[in-house]
Amino acid sequence: MIDPFGRKVSYLRVSVTDRCDLRCVYCMAEDMHFLPKADILSLEELERLCGAFVRQGVRKLRLTGGEPLVRRNIMSLITNLGRLVKSGDLDELTLTTNATQLAKYAEGLAAAGVRRLNVSLDSLDAAKFEAITRWGKLDQVLEGIMAAKAAGLAVKINTVALKGGNEDEHEHLVEWCGSHGFDLTFIETMPMGDIHSDRTEQYLPLSLVRSRLEQRFSLSDIDYRTGGPARYVRVAETGGRIGFITPMTHNFCETCNRVRVTCTGTLYMCLGQEDAADLRTPLRASEGDQLLEAAIAEAIARKPKGHDFIIDRDAHPAVGRHMSVTGG
């Protein structure tokens, strides 16, 4: 699949649910209203949809949410998709998770063919973690992360840089990740969805984060890539890697190889644009996939050049949907 700007689309992120067992302050409102179950694709429909994308050239598949591991019977979908990795039809199957359920699922994920996880973790302080997630328990998350490590899964920690929220912990996070062999990626907060607060009070540019880290660590740019938008550096003191995802201060769209499908079967060609394609209707209109594959091709032909994110005190969210709806 080639978009109008010559970029090969080979990476699909699929949200399997909009529900989550946390309410992170930069992601959700506290009183979220979730989609009715009738609107959500079944696990069998999600598998069929993923298969259609794989046949059209997707080589990397990431399952997201909400929190994917709260979806009932999710391991059946993961096991079936893992067979595409084992057959060579898919290069990689990964998950983004908050790790609350990882202690239960880590061994099963490894057995299914998952080799790598992204774990959202914004603080190593229990009280601060609970404040950021609104009710999360840090011990439960750390137990899940260590279960993933014990199962042989490579773990990358994703940390949203929050002004006044966790900026005093960034050095500690670098050291902690280095000690456990985890990569660490810092992410700028993005203007998606109404969170009932002012995002300018959260926003911390990663240029500032990096300059502060360089006062303590020796960072050198490297060419390492995972298929996503992060740009990586090596930390001489720990031997680990730090990634920086900068949708606000440095638009990374020129190399975008990704599209996202929501749990309702809506395809978003760009995280930061509202244009979308309905895949649920063609998916359910026929037992064959001809209509579905035609809808995918038509949508890829509309993939935009980039997003228009801006954080301003007087600005509305760049897009109205929450990140939990689109998938991380």
Whether pLDDT at 80 is above 80: yes
Q: Which range, of 10-14, 48-52, 186-190, 248-252, averages the lowest pLDDT?
A: 248-252
Say if residue 177 carries a ligand binding annotation: no
Whether pLDDT at 123 is above 70: yes
Say if residue 50 carries a ligand binding annotation: no
* DSSP code of residue 319: B
Instruction: State residue 155's pLDDT score.
Output: 98
Gap between the Cα atoms of 81 and 95, Å rounded: 12
Say if residue 27 carries a ligand binding annotation: yes
Say if residue 64 carries a ligand binding annotation: no
Instruction: State residue 192's pLDDT score.
Output: 47
Could you give the residue ranges of the DSSP H alpha helices within 66-216?
A: 74-87, 102-112, 126-133, 138-150, 170-180, 206-213
Q: pLDDT tens across 171-200, in order?
A: 999 999 999 999 999 999 866 445 445 555
Per-residue pLDDT, averaged over 232-237, amounts to 97
Instruction: State residue 35's pLDDT score.
Output: 87
Whether pLDDT at 321 is above 70: no
Say if residue 255 carries a ligand binding annotation: no
Say if residue 210 carries a ligand binding annotation: no
Helix (H) or strand (E) holding 53: helix 43-55
Say if residue 62 carries a ligand binding annotation: yes
Q: Is the pTM of this model over 0.95?
A: no
Q: Which residue has the tokens 């990634």?
A: 243
Gap between the Cα atoms of 300 and 65, Å rounded: 22
Per-residue pLDDT, averaged over 19-31, amounts to 85
Gap between the Cα atoms of 289 and 297, Å rounded: 12
Per-residue pLDDT, averaged over 276-305, amounts to 94
Say if residue 328 carries a ligand binding annotation: no
Per-residue pLDDT, averaged over 72-100, amounts to 97
**Domain formed by 11-325, architecture:** Alpha-Beta Barrel (3.20)
Per-residue pLDDT, averaged over 251-267, amounts to 85
Whether pLDDT at 327 is above 80: no
| Mean pLDDT (the chain, rounded) | 89
Closest Cα partner for 32 from 327, 326, 328, 325?
A: 325
Instruction: State residue 284's pLDDT score.
Output: 95
Say if residue 256 carries a ligand binding annotation: yes
Q: Which range, of 189-193, 266-270, 276-280, averages the lowest pLDDT?
A: 189-193
Edge-to-edge order in the sheet of strand 258-261: 219-221, 231-235, 241-245, 183-188, 154-161, 116-120, 92-97, 60-64, 11-15, 258-261, 266-268, 276-278
